[in-house]
Amino acid sequence: MRRLFSIGLFLICASTHAQVSADFGYEYIPDVSDSVIEARLKALPVTIAMEYNAEVKKQIQFYTVTRRDYARKMLNRSSQYFPLFEKYLAEYGMPDELKYLSVVESGLAPKAVSHAAAVGLWQFIYSTGKAYGLESNWYYDDRIDPVKSTEAACRFLLHLNNYFGDWELALAAYNSGAGRVNRAIRYADGKRDFWSIYKFLPNETKAYVPKFVAAVYLFHYAAEHNLYPDNPLYMPEYDTIQVSSYFHLETFATQSSICLEELEALNPQIKHGALPATAKNYALRIPLDKKEYVVTHRALLYDTASKVAKAEVEKMATHEVGAVSGRVRVDYKVRSGDVLGSIAARHKVRVSDIKQWNRLSSDMIRQGQILKIWVLPTQAPATITKVSTTLSRPALKPAPGQKTYAVMSGDTLWSISKAHNISVEEIKALNNLSGDNIKPGQTLILAGK
């Protein structure tokens, strides 16, 4: 027996291969047993384990029954980004099925932003993105760049898998941080597989790996659930040009007879329609069929694009609330008696800037809170010396042969010490740390030669 779905209406149909009925608008949704889905998962040509259980079933139902419109949207978008993902996964020798992780992370939307300010196809937060070479400023955000963020995601996932020795644990750590996964392993008496530590993980992470399994299932068996891409998207063929100056995209597009929307789609990471004067060999993507014309008329096109609206754009870059262009970051630890007004005055910034930089919805701050503040270079030395209370001793550089560890999101000195059988005090001594603060991307020395 099979079912047809319409608003408030279920009909019985004997056909097993019917698709959408043009006459009535009913959509045929196959009923598939647990045993069939489990067998299909076991038959997948994948490296990462694909366990079937109640949580995975719920996520498969989401794609194949509850949100079929969303599933079609993912099928449509996949043709635009999967070739890129496949290229980098192959280059790094990683399982091809990891390309489906972006479905879970961002719904294959390069400009997706989460409640935690994670951005892009692979949902990097600022600190982790920075640790993997993704720059973010007023002009552009590499976390939105499909190419740069994909390579960074491959490097990050590979690092996590090398650390945990298990792809499911690597996926869990990608979502919640290595520290939380290490803590769950301890609570599970040292067991090192996802389903053994499942109950000790945050709720979001509990659903994360099942969502990934469901996404893998969807893309392999969409047709068996009467799901097909109805408007597949494709990445236009492109090449790159190098830009090392201020560069106004709309002017360049007009002068080059390039569709501005196409230029913006190829470069979604450019946020305000221009590149900064500090750009150095910035790889700007242009339609392949326009490359010859651009190269031939390069001098004129670049000269024009380097002048139009420059003063206006640079003024916006430096005066817009939360702008960081031309500024350097300092971290300020809130002290007793501090208010946002006094902190802003001390750093010669606006209260609105501090709130924007730290995603504050009110003026409330607490003692001990760390605030990110971007100051003018002329203010930086005095600010760091007189105001910041988070200074530590100079970090030591590892010598050849020393065992090191790259700090990941969620790590603490305590979690690292337990994972590597070394005391917190030893880590602090080896790395000349005066406090317990560490940040993603930081390299810690864990043993001598």
Tell me the sheet residues that pair with 332: 371
Closest CA to 134 of 120, 114, 121, 149: 149
Dihedrals phi, psi of 271, to nearest 5 degrees: -90, -30
For the stretch 268-305, what's the b/e string if a residue is b when 16 or more beta carbons lie within 10 angstroms of its beta carbon? Answer: bbbeebbbbbebeebebbbbeebeeebeeeeeebbebb
Q: Which residues contact 138 (CB under 8 A, 6 or more apart)?
A: 271, 272, 276, 316, 317, 320, 323, 324, 325
Q: Which helix (H) or strand (E) holds 445?
A: strand 443-447
Q: Which two tokens stand for residue 289?
A: 């069929």
Q: What is the DSSP letter of 66?
A: I
Q: Which two tokens stand for residue 41?
A: 């998962």
The Cα 76–Cα 219 span in angstroms is 11
Sign of the Cα torsion 294, 296, 301, 306 reads: positive
Residue pair 152/441 in contact (Cβ under 8 Å)? The answer is: no
Q: Beta strand 370-375 with 328-333: parallel, antiparallel or unpaired?
A: antiparallel
Q: Beta strand 247-248 with 27-29: parallel, antiparallel or unpaired?
A: unpaired
The Cα 141–Cα 328 span in angstroms is 17
- Among the listed residues 27, 51, 97, 105, the single catalytic one is 105
Q: In what order do the strands lie in the sheet containing 27-29?
A: 9-13, 2-6, 27-29
Q: Which helix (H) or strand (E) holds 275?
A: strand 274-275
The Cα 10–Cα 363 span in angstroms is 53
Residue pair 426/376 in contact (Cβ under 8 Å)? The answer is: no
The Cα 10–Cα 87 span in angstroms is 44
Q: Is 128 helix (H, G, I), strand (E, B) or coil?
A: helix
Neighbours of 132 (CB within 10 A): 22
Task: Provide the CB-side half-sphere exposure for 52 (13 A, CA).
Answer: 17
Q: Is 105 a catalytic residue?
A: yes
Catalytic residues: 105
